[in-house]
Structure 1
């Protein structure tokens, strides 16, 4: 197992909620200016599937809704229609900045987690997996909801910028269907697209101008919280 030992780097992140016409205009503009993510399919997009964990009293959800300055959440994530590339991710927010830790899991290990079999985490030498085990036990973290969407991503090397357009957000009736993406049919906020811009120390002017949408201001939209509304 490969262990992520890279230093934790905090990045800037802001979001806009777009209408479908705004999405189409912005997608065309960004496509003329920046290369797309190399992992995208022929249409320039790919599907993202995430399973979020939370405490019995919904600590992660409440902290998000309350705007708590320092918070974290755990999720399993894979791409496309196969969990062959599966990761555990810990997303950290602090002082308006965000960072992420991640660890690879096998599909079998992912299914173990959904069944409540967690001993393999304690046997790992990966600090993130050991931390996750301790919080499954100590904070009673458990799977709460699935978030699925289509992503179109653009890159710009200056500032290590990543621009994403997330659309067709949906969830499922049960988190137990996480590895059955064809069952995730419940649409969330139809006709809305989430624009996210992430960057390191500075945002280049070309990106700042490219993502401008008249009348739109930054927002604190959470796909996890939106999908929890439909639980």
Structure 2
């Protein structure tokens, strides 16, 4: 993780796939995509929120602007292993993500105990402002999943990810703990995300149309929250009522 991209601006579209759609899509996309540098990995994430879950409950109302703070690792980190602190914003359909890399130990001191970042930057200044603005904010949800990541061969700005075995929990909000939790998807389901800087490649749009794969507004943290006891008051008849 010696080199990494710290700033992103792109469109992100989500799709829920069954096993058959997943297999056919990979077959038809062969020659157009390749495994990216992370290939297949276990991603573990801690989402931060207020005690009353203000950030996720506001996000579920689908506003024009929303933001979230998370701590992410590839695999289960310990001590000096590197992790990402990410501030993700979405405005009018465009996703802006800024992230900085720290050791797990430093990230815990920074986010859990509010100690100053050891290597201050423009990104940590933005995170500092976020933490100050929302006040009493802390770890709220752990989400872990297996991800296959692909990138475009002729379209270098294209990235496609497939997530499965998505687990969530509200206990042991610590990335150094082993992945465990309640399942978020039904057996055989995969969450696909298409990440692009501009228009979707025509070949990919044709494949989605042929396989009857349509966009979904699925949110891992949102779904886990609504499934939790804290989110039950928001979910009645599939609608947000708070």
Distance 1:229 1:178, change over 3 A: farther
TM-score, normalised relative to structure 2: 0.80
CA drift of 1:179 comes to: 1.6
TM-score (normalizing by structure 1): 0.84
Aligned residue pairs total 222
Give the match for residue 77 of structure 2: 82
Stretches of structure 1 lacking an aligned partner (at least 5 in a row) = none
Deviations along 1:74-133, whole A, 9 cap, x unmatched? Answer: 10001023352301001110111112100111111133256x321223x64212223323
Q: Helix, strand or coil for the counterpart of 2:109? A: helix
Q: Superposed, which structure 2 residues align to 1:3-14 within 5 Å?
A: 10-14=9-13
Q: Which residue of 2 aligns with 1:24?
A: 23
Task: Identify which of 202, 217, 234 aligns with 1:205.
Answer: 202
Show the 5 A alignment for 1:1-231. Answer: 10-40=9-39, 45-82=40-77, 84-113=81-110, 116-121=112-117, 124-139=119-134, 140-156=136-152, 157-158=154-155, 160-182=157-179, 184-191=180-187, 192-212=189-209, 214-231=211-228
Deviations 1:11-39 (A, max 9, x none): 12211111233223323433453111122
Change in CA separation of 1:39 and 1:67 when aligned onto 2, cut-off 3 Å: same
Residue by residue over 1:120-165, the C-alpha shift from the partner in whole angstroms, topping out at 9 and shown as x without a partner, is 23x6421222332333343122111011111111111426000111
SS for the counterpart of 1:228 is helix
**Which one has a larger percent strand, Structure 1 or Structure 2?**
2
Provide the rounded CA distance (Å) in 2 between the counterparts of 1:141 and 1:165.
Answer: 30
- Give the aligned CA root-mean-square deviation in angstroms: 2.6
Unaligned runs of 5+ in 2: 229-242
How many angstroms apart in 1 are the aligned matches of 2:33 and 2:71? 29
